[in-house]
Structure 1
Amino acid sequence: MFWIFLRLGLTSFGGPIAHLGYFREEFVNKRKWFDDPSYADVVALCQFLPGPASSQVGISIGLSRAGIPGAIAAWLGFTLPSAVVLVAFAFGISIYNESLSAGWLHGLKVVAVAIVAQAIWGMAKSLTPDFRRVLIALGSAGLAILFPTAMGQMGVIVLGAILGLIFIQGIAIPPQTPIRIPLSRRAGIVSLVIFASLLVALPFWGSGHENVKIIDSFFRTGSLVFGGGHVVLPLLKSEIVNNGWVSSDAFMAGYGAVQAVPGPLFTFAAYLGAMLNTELTGWIGAGVCLLAVFLPSFLIVFGVLPFWEKLRQIQKMRFAVAGINASVVGLLMAAFYNPVWTSAIFSVKDFVFALGCFILLMFLKAPSWAVVILGAIVGGLL
């Protein structure tokens, strides 16, 4: 599990939506660990939860296949590459050549267009097989484009569940393939109690201890942020810069660097931990802050998944989930337009390059990691 996710952590450029495309290719198409409806159910749940959705999907996959050790191994593999690079950047090591960065980074963004398009194509075929669910997906995409906020995304998912209950009840929904969750509901309750207790207790413990206050800032950010990595960056700035723990210039330098690395954007916490102007700094600060910002994701996923597996097998819940899955396709379509397409396709050359990558992935069955490397090379050369 660690090696699988380490390879994904080294090659998964393009942000959380692209990560879901990489995961689908690896675990649905290649390894057959999940079918499309089951994978989409996990994605829909993690979109609903606070924290980094793609990391939570990875934690869920690791938990399903290899228990709690598998969940930890999946998170470590996916998170370490970007965390190590960002800490090295914090120590002043020049990882990227400035003259090449714009070209090869742009190439990676173009590859992300092809990867997300492939994910949408594959998920739409299985999750929107009839006209009603196509309409739900298209409506969800339109609403998500018009209201591109975390609350807007949650509203689209809730609306998809309601429309599923209303319009999909007359359509035969096959029984859901069970997702193996090796945790009891009692363990889930314990996990949620620990999460709530830390969320309440850490602010009190941190009132007289600066290190605990720092941990509280990162834990609270990981607990309450909706909308993924791009939302967490401004929230961290208000917590970290305003408290004087990291200068504004240092924060903005890291903000630029985090766009250049694969894996989850939440690893920005490791950079900030290494840059803290406190006794908690360097590698220790990086590790503590990284654990603090991701710990809520573990506790929430461990707490919710045992109940989710029971709920998704109920017939009415299956209709609701079918509507949610169609909405997830719509959310992917909206994200494909903005920011994936709008941040990458600026010319006819970009479009042709993205189309070529899409053909490599869809029809020539090229591995996604090879297309990522190709995209970086071609982008750098051009």
Structure 2
Amino acid sequence: MHNVSYRQFLKDVLICSLGAYGGPEAHFGVFLDHLVSKKQYLSEEELVELLALTSILPGPTSTQTITAVGYRMGGPLLALLTLFVWAFPPILGMTALSFLYQFLKDHQISEDILRFIAAMAVGFIFLAAFRIGKKVLVDRLTITLFLFGSLATYFIRSPWIFPAVLLIGGAISIIASKEKNLFNKITIRAPYGYLILFVFFALGSLLLSLATHNLLVTLFEAFYRYGYLVFGGGQVVVPVMITELVETKGYLTNEQFLTGYGLVQGLPGPMFSFSAYAGGMAARSEGPVIQVLAALISGVGIFLPGTLLIFFIYPVWEELKRIKAVKVSLKGINAVAGGLITTAAILLLQKIGITAEHIVVVGLTIVVLATKKIPAPLIVLAVLVAGIVF
């Protein structure tokens, strides 16, 4: 830990939050520019190492990275405050947007003004799938696992398939590895209390949800589960969410889901804040108070497991790095995840309708994003204006 002003550090975290668009890769660039180059809280090598740590953990990578920086600078308390400052502004924004459909209805404004948002969101997901594929498809094994993940989740429409194929991908990667001594023994003195809390919330919320069928408890359990089942950015959790929230439980429609995912692209900060919108929409029939509570609980739920894991693992990271199997499994997990996202994009396009209008919007979104000349918020604004004009 370092002697650092909490107030100044958290101010810098807020600056990062308000300027971070475009997912983990873009967020890393913001951290590099502000926390390393300008403020020199840590070196570039140390930041890359923290990114490596968070990449092998389930949960939102960029959120865990900046939380780990907070832990490094001031221990668990500053890490928790860092998480709050980083994630709370976009969570509030997405909570407010969960009332968007009701606002349009109350003011007799046609929902057609949002009709291009879903197609734009599909464009974001297609480009994310392409970028991840470009990064992880390095040999025959990763290509095979990519296709396995894609086909399995296309033909089996059930929430359990996602953790199953991810675990299979990691296991196959370990089995196929030619490296020796993958499970080398290490001695760890870890703060196991955080791991106990992690398991407690996972099992406790599941049992409580099954026993009570209370909507708020059920939403917390679902989003907490999403938080520990996915690796990478917000785009990775999309196929998991849409299968359960839209197809299985019917909490919101396909169009409503994609509208929220499209709108979150226009907000800075972590894309996992989309969970607040989805949770709020799931409780929209329960009144505004319950809807706000559901949104906040969902937001907290999805960020909590990754935070507890960082608190548990960061103090013993130097030892854990020596377990080769941890890094080797990530190769297969990431390849499968790329397949999941690709299938999600295809299925979502099918559901909104493969029309000339939608294909044009998807294509234009991909092209404009790929050029990196127009920021995501301006693309979202342009699509909203197009919906109003046309």
Structure 2-normalised TM-score? Answer: 0.65
Counterpart-to-counterpart distance in 1, 2:282 and 2:336: 35
Partner of 2:360: 352
Q: Structure 1 residue 152: deviation in Å?
A: 1.0
Q: Structure 1 residue 89: deviation in Å?
A: 6.2
**Residue in structure 2 matching 1:76, options 55, 65, 88:** 88
Matches within 5 A, 1:242-253: none
How far does the alpha carbon of each residue in 1:336-367 deviate from its partner, in whole angstroms, 9 at most, with x for none? 1112x224452234323322222211135321
- 1:321 and 2:333 aligned: no
Letter in 2 for 1:325: N
Matches within 5 A, 1:79-228: 79-87=91-99, 94=106, 97-98=109-110, 101-102=111-112, 104-169=113-178, 185-186=191-192, 188-189=194-195, 191-192=197-198, 195=201, 199=205, 216=217, 218-223=219-224, 227-228=240-241
Higher mean C-alpha displacement, 130-139 vs 219-228:
219-228
Look up the SS of the partner of 2:115 in the other structure.
helix
Look up the SS of the partner of 2:116 in the other structure.
helix
Partner of 1:377: 385
Q: Structure 1 residue 288: deviation in Å?
A: 3.8
- 1:267 and 2:277 aligned: yes
Partner of 1:64: 68
Counterpart-to-counterpart distance in 1, 2:65 and 2:162: 23
How far does the alpha carbon of each residue in 1:312-340 deviate from its partner, in whole angstroms, 9 at most, with x for none? 6521221111111111111111111112x
Counterpart-to-counterpart distance in 2, 1:255 and 1:335: 12
Please tell me whether the aligned partners of residues 160 and 320 of structure 1 are also in contact (alpha carbons under 8 angstroms): yes
Distance 1:353 1:36, change over 3 A: farther
How far does the alpha carbon of each residue in 1:114-159 deviate from its partner, in whole angstroms, 9 at most, with x for none? 2222222222222222232122112211111111322111111011
Partner of 1:342: 350
Distance 1:38 1:106, change over 3 A: farther
Letter in 2 for 1:192: F
Distance 1:166 1:337, change over 3 A: same
Distance 1:379 1:3, change over 3 A: farther
Higher mean C-alpha displacement, 357-366 vs 226-235:
226-235
- 1:297 and 2:302 aligned: yes
How far does the alpha carbon of each residue in 1:32-73 deviate from its partner, in whole angstroms, 9 at most, with x for none? 587799589649723xxxxxxxxx556434423442112122
Counterpart-to-counterpart distance in 2, 1:287 and 1:45: 26
Q: Percent identity?
A: 12
Please tell me whether the aligned partners of residues 190 and 303 of structure 1 are also in contact (alpha carbons under 8 angstroms): no
Counterpart-to-counterpart distance in 1, 2:121 and 2:247: 24
Size of the aligned set, in residue pairs, is: 321
Distance 1:324 1:37, change over 3 A: farther
Unaligned residue ranges in structure 2 (runs of 5+): 1-12, 34-46, 71-78, 181-189, 230-239, 265-273
Please tell me whether the aligned partners of residues 141 and 331 of structure 1 are also in contact (alpha carbons under 8 angstroms): yes
Unaligned residue ranges in structure 1 (runs of 5+): 12-21, 47-55, 172-183, 208-212, 238-250
Q: Structure 1 residue 3: deviation in Å?
A: 6.0
Q: Structure 1 residue 258: deviation in Å?
A: 6.3
Counterpart-to-counterpart distance in 1, 2:380 and 2:53: 24
Letter in 1 for 2:241: G
Partner of 1:24: 24
Letter in 1 for 2:365: C
Partner of 1:15: none
Look up the SS of the partner of 2:373 in the other structure.
coil
Letter in 1 for 2:58: L
Counterpart-to-counterpart distance in 1, 2:19 and 2:352: 24
Letter in 2 for 1:60: Q
Look up the SS of the partner of 2:85 in the other structure.
helix
